Amino acid sequence: MAETLHQFRETTATYRRHGWQLKRVLMRAETLAQLRDVKDSSTTPGDAARFEDVIIREAPIDALWFARASHGEREAWELRLIADVPYALFELFEADEAEEEREDVRREMEVRLRDYAARD
């Protein structure tokens, strides 16, 4: 399980180096429990703080949502599965696209990622 939190940290660091901003975190119940244990530990308080300002939601998969500005005033969003084999879904949103429509697409992306992860 410590490996999963390490993958969260490494993936976040990699995306940030490329200009992405962490927006949301999806964690399985087991991963959330481990994160709480790390937060309660006095030996590594900084490790768990990495996700404090981000919405963390319990989910059947471990995944990270990233966003960044793109060409033509569009916004790119990527949903990255935290697993041994890297896998991500990508979507570009137009500047005038309503937030409700964006959220519908993001929900669909989460379903597709869950379906992909369930095949393993």
pLDDT tens readout for residues 10-29: 999 999 999 999 999 999 98
Query: pLDDT tens digit string along 42-82?
Result: 444 444 334 657 878 889 999 999 999 999 899 999 999 99
How many domains does the chain contain in total?
1
Q: Is 45 exposed, middle or buried (0-12, 13-18, 19+ CB in 10 A)?
A: exposed
Whether the CB-CB separation of 80 and 116 falls below 8 Å is answered with no
Q: Is 60 helix (H, G, I), strand (E, B) or coil?
A: coil
Q: State the DSSP H helix or E strand holding residue 40, giving kind and residue range, or none if neither.
A: helix 29-40
Q: What is the residue range of 86's domain? A: 2-118
- The residue behind tokens 């500047």 is 95
Q: Is 108 helix (H, G, I), strand (E, B) or coil?
A: helix
Q: For the chain, what's the residue count?
A: 120
pLDDT recorded at residue 97? 96
